């Protein structure tokens, strides 16, 4: 199968060909703008690959959101699993039209709020398609994409959006940004992470899921023993030397209007930016260079079994 994003033709092993679709999204400068000033968000466009299963629709769909390395074969591979079970797949490319090749060394090239906005924009686009069941749209994010799908679920609640993601599967997400009251509506949430993850802190993710549960959300968490970051890739564990990570940095909370709360004062501060707090983490000694990713043994298989159990159970109760 071909796995490059962009304009290339992509075929699954079943012969299903991806359709390239355009998503009208935006580049909010902050969560605050996304929630309180959505009409002021600068417009943007991203592209996605949509895989429709064979048979008679409309079909449920999972939006797949990549992480800091962009679209990889492991993300396209999700369409193999989903379409074989009658689930459409929409793999978005958040980087190409933004002129980004990787955020591994610098996460501030565009905001995490924009990553979440991409998820909501893609949901809006898919609702309009005849092949898609608008009542069964879910989102699965990996790493930075995991942050995006969790944030999108809360932003949708605070903006009172007229659609709802029925499910969120956050794969090894960075939970350094969390809404103080992480409402997720009726979305079923699952987060998974490896216990040896060097990019994201498992305890932070665990706390994030617990906070969602305390808000009444249907949320679950699983820790995979001895697993590194991106353990679903089915590629050997390797060191990414230029990765800039700070998993031990304090959690940054976000109030109901999307304002970042300064961890040093516990007060909302509209002047604070995501970049300000990233630099603070580095200056206070939490940042470092280099982190591992990849899988070993049957970790990738275990990941996909967990993934499919979640989605088939949600879409076919």
pLDDT digits (tens, 9 = 90+) for 130-142: 999 999 999 999 9
Rounded average pLDDT over 182-200:
97
pLDDT digits (tens, 9 = 90+) for 198-235: 999 999 999 999 999 999 999 999 999 999 999 999 99
pLDDT score, position 8: 77
Count of positions (residues) in the chain: 317
At 48 the three-state DSSP class reads strand
* Domains of the chain as residue ranges with CATH: 19-315 (3.40.50.1820)
Phi first, then psi: give them for residue 114, nearest 5 degrees.
Answer: -65, -35
Residue entry with tokens 């608008």: 134
pLDDT score, position 6: 56
- Chain mean position to CA 80: 19
pLDDT score, position 2: 34
Phi first, then psi: give them for residue 14, nearest 5 degrees.
Answer: -80, -10
Contact 94, 67 (CB under 8 A): no
Residue partners of 314: CB distance under 8 A and separation at least 6: 138, 166, 167, 188
Rounded average pLDDT over 33-50:
97
Q: Reply yes or no on whether the pLDDT at 35 is more than 60.
A: yes
Residue partners of 271: CB distance under 8 A and separation at least 6: none
pLDDT digits (tens, 9 = 90+) for 232-265: 999 999 999 999 999 889 999 999 999 999 999 9
Largest pairwise CA distance in the chain? 56
> What separation in angstroms does the CA of 225 have from each of 137, 292, 310?
30, 15, 19
Neighbours of 96 (CB within 10 A): 17
């Amino acid at each position: 199968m071909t796995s490059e994003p962009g304009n290339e033709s992509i075929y699954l092993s079943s012969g299903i060909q991806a359709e390239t679709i355009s998503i009208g999204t935006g580049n909010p400068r902050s969560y605050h703008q996304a929630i309180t000033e959505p009409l002021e968000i600068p417009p943007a466009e991203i592209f996605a690959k949509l895989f429709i299963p064979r048979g008679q629709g409309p079909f449920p769909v999972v939006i797949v959101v990549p992480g800091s390395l962009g679209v990889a074969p492991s993300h396209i591979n999700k369409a193999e699993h989903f379409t074989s079970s009658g689930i459409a797949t929409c793999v978005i490319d958040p980087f190409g039209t933004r002129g980004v090749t990787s955020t591994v060394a610098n996460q501030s090239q565009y905001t995490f709020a924009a990553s979440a906005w991409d998820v909501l924009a893609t949901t809006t686009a898919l609702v309009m398609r005849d092949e898609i069941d608008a009542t069964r749209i879910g989102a699965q994010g990996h790493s930075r994409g995991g942050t995006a799908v969790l944030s999108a679920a809360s932003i949708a609640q605070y903006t009172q959006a007229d659609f709802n993601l029925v499910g969120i599967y956050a794969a090894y997400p960075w939970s350094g940004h969390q809404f103080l009251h992480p409402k997720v509506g009726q979305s079923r949430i699952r987060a998974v992470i490896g216990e040896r993850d060097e990019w994201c802190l498992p305890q932070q993710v665990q706390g994030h899921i617990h906070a969602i549960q305390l808000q009444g959300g249907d949320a679950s968490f699983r820790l995979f023993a001895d697993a590194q970051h991106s353990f679903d890739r089915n590629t050997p564990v390797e060191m990414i030397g230029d990765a800039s990570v700070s998993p031990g940095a304090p959690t940054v909370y976000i109030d109901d209007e999307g304002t970042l709360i300064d961890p040093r004062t516990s007060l909302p501060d509209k002047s604070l930016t995501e970049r300000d707090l990233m630099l603070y983490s580095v200056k206070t000694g939490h940042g470092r260079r280099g982190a591992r990713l990849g899988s070993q043994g049957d970790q990738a298989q275990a990941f996909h079994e967990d993934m499919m159990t979640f989605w088939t159970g949600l879409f076919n109760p």
